[in-house]
């Protein structure tokens, strides 16, 4: 991790600087994470929902971040898991497999 990332993490963990640091985190990473999620869920509105869930999970879990990887790698993994959860939930509601749902989403492009 670099100094900027370490400082951001420290600020996210500090209740006095948390809000400002979170705004900076979102500003810095939202576009990259959005496009990662969008490739998986294929729909803009769904990608926005998953992105929001991702940032909520990051905010709630920042104290658990150990620093073994880069911050973005950790958030990328959360975004991936949130996308998979979203796809599985959507497929379950539709009564189909997640692979079938993914094929439908791709065909709708």
What would the pLDDT profile of 78-94 be if each residue is shown by its tens digit? 999 999 899 888 877 77
CA dist 13 → 2, 75, 85 (Å) = 17, 16, 27
Is 70 exceeded by the pLDDT of residue 108? no
Burial 46-71 (b: 16+ CB within 10 A, else e): bbeebbebbbeebeeebeeeeeeeeb
Q: How confident is the model at residue 105 (pLDDT cuts 50, 70, 90)?
A: low
Two tokens at 61?
């879990």
| Closest to 98 (Cα-Cα) out of 43, 41, 50, 53 | 41
């Amino acid at each position: 991790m670099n100094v900027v990332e370490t400082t951001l993490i420290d600020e996210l963990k500090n209740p006095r600087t948390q809000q400002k640091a979170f705004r900076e985190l979102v500003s810095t990473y939202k576009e990259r994470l959005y496009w990662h999620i969008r490739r998986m869920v294929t729909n803009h509105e769904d990608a926005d929902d998953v992105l929001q869930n991702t940032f909520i999970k990051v905010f709630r879990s920042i104290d658990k971040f150990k620093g073994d990887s880069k911050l973005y790698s950790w958030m990328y993994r959360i975004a991936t898991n949130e996308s998979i959860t979203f796809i599985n939930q959507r497929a379950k509601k539709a009564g189909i497999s997640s692979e079938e749902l993914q094929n439908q989403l791709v065909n709708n492009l």
